[in-house]
Structure 1
């Protein structure tokens, strides 16, 4: 028989209960009492059971704690990923702002060159540029032209997340517009931007409303760029692409005269 472990008081209680039981076994007539010993062992078993339950609750608590930690880690990873995508998009947009300024300045130079070349021939020549940078209330303009150009070039133009544009308008003999549009490539925005270019005629319809006709892309390959580009390579690559677009746009105007 194993003596229950515990304090000195618990051992004294056990010895007293054991003496009662021995008296019952040796001299039944003395009417010894086994109940004290039975109660003592029952109490000991109950305490052991409770300790066992306590261990289970501890394990359960640790499991729940692990689940909470794992959930926190997953949330942190998600936030890091979102932050990473946001940083990529911001970097791409900073590149887009640089290219936008380059294109705006170059379009203005072309507009000035055109006006100088015809100033002795036409007195009413109207050549000008219009630009909608980031945050401009007109950024949603020209959706039809941009989307139609993207369809002809075989990609999806996402104007929801980012869109800026520049126009070169030439009103000489006829009205021709060259349009550059910076926007997101594809349905999901992860830092990949694109610039497409088109030219079209803008005429007055039967009811006086302006209509667009003969819309044509000015390049077979729109200009793509992303956060992974380096500005020292990106800028000259864009400038070359832009010059090709301008030449093609002037040829489009020349054919319309």
Structure 2
């Protein structure tokens, strides 16, 4: 996504999550994200971002997940309050076996989506 019109999307939230988890989100060499948007009375988003871990190019990547609501204000802006989807980040590196990464990631993603949907349910209750 670097260099395109969407490369800055979610930058603030990605940095917020990095600070919360006490690391530097390195988006210099690689950054990508995907999201699920739930349109209801309010717009609720679940975002997963993949990027480098730390200041150097050390071969460690991390996936962070967060949720937020878009709540329109009277002046036309939207306020967001990002919350993590998981207590932990998902970390992997180039030395780890692909199958191990996939298994761990699937477990982490299941837990993260469950938490995110519970957060959405809380917002509509």
Which residue of 169, 173, 178 corresponds with 2:46? 178
Asked whether the 8 Å contact 1:158–1:185 carries over to 2, the reply is yes
Asked whether the 8 Å contact 2:2–2:31 carries over to 1, the reply is no
Q: Displacement, 1:203?
A: 1.4
Q: Displacement, 1:160?
A: 2.1
Specify the alignment match of 2:111 in structure 1: 244
Asked whether the 8 Å contact 2:43–2:69 carries over to 1, the reply is yes
Q: Displacement, 1:135?
A: 5.4
Task: Give distance in 2, aligned partners of 1:189 and 1:201.
Answer: 33
Instruction: Rate the CA distance shift 1:179–1:210 in 2: closer, same or farther, 3 A.
Output: same
Question: What's the TM-score, normalizing by structure 1?
Answer: 0.46
1:141 corresponds to 2:9: yes
Which residue of 71, 78, 83 corresponds with 1:210? 78
Q: Displacement, 1:157?
A: 1.0
Asked whether the 8 Å contact 2:2–2:30 carries over to 1, the reply is no
The structure having more radius of gyration, on CA atoms, is: 1
Greater RCO, CA 8 A, separation 6+: 2
Specify the alignment match of 1:192 in structure 2: 60
Specify the alignment match of 1:169 in structure 2: 37
Q: Displacement, 1:177?
A: 0.7
Residue 15 of structure 2 aligns to a residue in which SS?
helix
- In terms of fraction of residues, the more helix-rich structure is 1
- In terms of fraction of residues, the more strand-rich structure is 2
Task: Give distance in 1, aligned partners of 2:75 and 2:116.
Answer: 29
Per-residue CA deviation, residues 223-247 of structure 1 (Å, 9 max, x unaligned), is 0011001111111110110010100
Long gaps (5+) in structure 1? 1-133
Task: Give distance in 2, aligned partners of 1:206 and 1:136.
Answer: 33
Per-residue CA deviation, residues 125-159 of structure 1 (Å, 9 max, x unaligned), is xxxxxxxxx55721221100110011112211112
Task: Give distance in 2, aligned partners of 1:201 and 1:208.
Answer: 15
Task: Give distance in 1, aligned partners of 2:24 and 2:37.
Answer: 26
Residue 208 of structure 1 aligns to a residue in which SS?
coil
Residue 194 of structure 1 aligns to a residue in which SS?
strand
Task: Give distance in 1, aligned partners of 2:33 and 2:3.
Answer: 10
Give RMSD over aligned pairs.
1.4
Question: What's the TM-score, normalizing by structure 2?
Answer: 0.91
Task: Give distance in 2, aligned partners of 1:181 and 1:136.
Answer: 17
